Structure 1
Amino acid sequence: MKKDSGQRVNIIGAGEVGLATLVDLDKKNIHNVNSSFWDTKGNEVIGTTALPKYGAFITEEKIRLFGDVSGKKLLEIGCGTGISLKYHGERGASELWGLDISEKQIEKTKECLSSCGFSATLICSPMEEECGIPKDYFDYVYSIYGVGWATDLDRTFHKIASYAKKDGVFIFSWSHPMHKCVTIENDSLIIKKPYFDESWYTVSLGGGEISLSDRKLSTYINALSKAGFTIEEMVEKSDEEILQVYENNDFSKKAQMLPVTFVIKARKL
């Protein structure tokens, strides 16, 4: 993965975390970097984002995008440690499937589900690639902070559309692109990178390394449209009641002023 001489800030939470080094898009190398990170440092450094949380300050218990999943077939893209699959298992889903790029995350999902008496069909593969998931099969496909890792968003959304039944639902969350542009300093918002910058970068975190691109919101919306989805709902405002539970730190202050997470519910036409 050829590294560019350019650098810019990387933002996690309310502040900057090291310098991001700009890189060329090399899908194979990016997959290797990110799978290695989640095989080793991922949960220790970034933690786990899983239902009922969609991300910071937004929860399924508040916005109710799934509704009743009893008897439904669900596929998670980026299943991580299995907590979201467990959440749906407890709500009566008839079939659970999970996809993740990391063998270690797949192992954690198996452990999580088996400890609760649930089972799932689990596949280790990049989300962009053909991996044997059945077509026109699922009532819901969803991803909690997963699809943003895709190296090819158009191809990923077309794959997801092929997995869903006609009128099937696709729900996903990710870090809001405005959040990745702005830090809070002395109670003021400071723009640190252009919103329109979608270049790929690597950054060191906790002894590991990740590769990402901070895509515009329109990039996600246009990719959904091209894949044959119609958007039913988008949530980007932090829940006021949840914000009040947290200490008045920089991150919660930031979340009161701009979106830090976005969630989209789309339906296959």
Structure 2
Amino acid sequence: MKQNKYDDEGFFEKYSQMPRSVQGLDAAGEWASFRPMLPDMNGKRVLDIGCGFGWHCRYAREQGAASVVGIDISENMLARAREMTDDAAITYRRLAIEDLDYPAGAFDVVISSLALHYIERFDIVCREVHRLLAPGGSFAFSVEHPVFTARAAQDWHYGPGGEKLHWPVDDYYGEGLRQARFLENNVIKYHRTVSSIMNALIEAGFVIRKLSEPQPTPEMMKANPSMRDELRRPLFLLIAAERQD
């Protein structure tokens, strides 16, 4: 199933108002941890799968990437990315992640930000990314943490006064589709365990170089005291891997 909620105008309008949509990477809670996990991109051919507004594409060029391709299934996302980009070395293309059709070895780096939990067959994507990476190529991505995706509700357990008592984890081993709520809309996500994610990468031929379960920085918590609740459970899982040859 290829989901395209972002071409729903109401949903896209709400997404466009999120801090990370307005302010870019510095407003993304995971960016401080994800940035140092990215490989050296100087002179590299980079692919961003699920590129959204193209923030990571433009960052790759700032880091010296020779060329960047950003793919997304949403025309709305791509239109905004093109509006925000003035760089002939960046190409945006409408393409679902499930339909990657580039030649073997076409890229040196593949990145993805918060897109792969929308994909049903992560194992197939891993094998395809491995195929289109050149020997020694790098794959770095972020997803919602399995502790976060396990329950479709994706919400706290509240006390009688509305206080956040704890984050419930249930059905962790029951992998598969979750009908979640995001921006006041029903959105399909796919839950998988940490071990399933890791093993899919290993079985596809990747060596895992680093993992991160990022916490909010002191600066983030100072600017927004409610961010302290993000210390109580992981929201993101970040992985950096390399093609093994």
Asked whether the two chains share a fold, i.e. TM above 0.5, the reply is yes
Distance 1:53 1:263 in 2: 16
The question of whether the paired residues in 1 share the 8 Å contact of 2:66 and 2:89 is answered with: no
> Within 5 Å, which residues of 2 pair with 1:119-268?
119-131=89-101, 133-180=102-149, 181=151, 183=156, 185=158, 186-191=163-168, 193-203=170-180, 205-206=182-183, 208-249=185-226, 252-268=227-243
Q: CA 1:188 to 1:101, structure 2 compared with 1: closer, same or farther past 3 Å?
A: same
Q: Which secondary structure state, in structure 1, belongs to the residue aligned with residue 138 of structure 2?
A: strand
Distance 2:36 2:243 in 1: 19
Q: Partner letter of residue 108 of structure 1?
A: R
The question of whether the paired residues in 1 share the 8 Å contact of 2:78 and 2:94 is answered with: yes
Q: CA 1:248 to 1:204, structure 2 compared with 1: closer, same or farther past 3 Å?
A: closer
Return 5+ residue gaps in structure 1 as ranges.
Answer: 1-26
Q: Partner letter of residue 172 of structure 2?
A: Y
The question of whether the paired residues in 1 share the 8 Å contact of 2:147 and 2:169 is answered with: no
Q: CA 1:223 to 1:253, structure 2 compared with 1: closer, same or farther past 3 Å?
A: same
Displacement of 1:43 in angstroms is 4.0
Return 5+ residue gaps in structure 2 as ranges.
Answer: none
Indicate the percent of aligned positions where both proteins have the same amino acid.
Answer: 22
Structure with bigger RCO (C-alpha 8 Å, 6+ apart): 1
Q: Partner letter of residue 109 of structure 1?
A: A
Distance 1:237 1:83 in 2: 19
Determine which structure has the larger strand proportion and give its number.
Answer: 1
Distance 1:205 1:67 in 2: 31
TM-score (norm 1): 0.75
CA offset digits 1:54-81 (Å, max 9, x no partner): 9534425x75122532211110010111
TM-score (norm 2): 0.82
Distance 1:178 1:69 in 2: 31
Distance 1:54 1:235 in 2: 18
Is residue 89 of structure 1 aligned with residue 57 of structure 2?
no
Distance 1:69 1:53 in 2: 19
Determine which structure has the larger helix proportion and give its number.
Answer: 2
Q: Partner letter of residue 196 of structure 1?
A: Y
Q: Which secondary structure state, in structure 2, belongs to the residue aligned with residue 191 of structure 1?
A: coil
Distance 1:264 1:118 in 2: 29
Q: Partner letter of residue 90 of structure 2?
A: A
Q: Partner letter of residue 264 of structure 1?
A: I
> Within 5 Å, which residues of 2 pair with 1:23-62?
27=1, 31=2, 34-35=3-4, 37-40=5-8, 41-46=10-15, 47=18, 48=20, 52=25, 55-60=28-33
Give the RMSD, CA atoms, in angstroms. Answer: 2.6
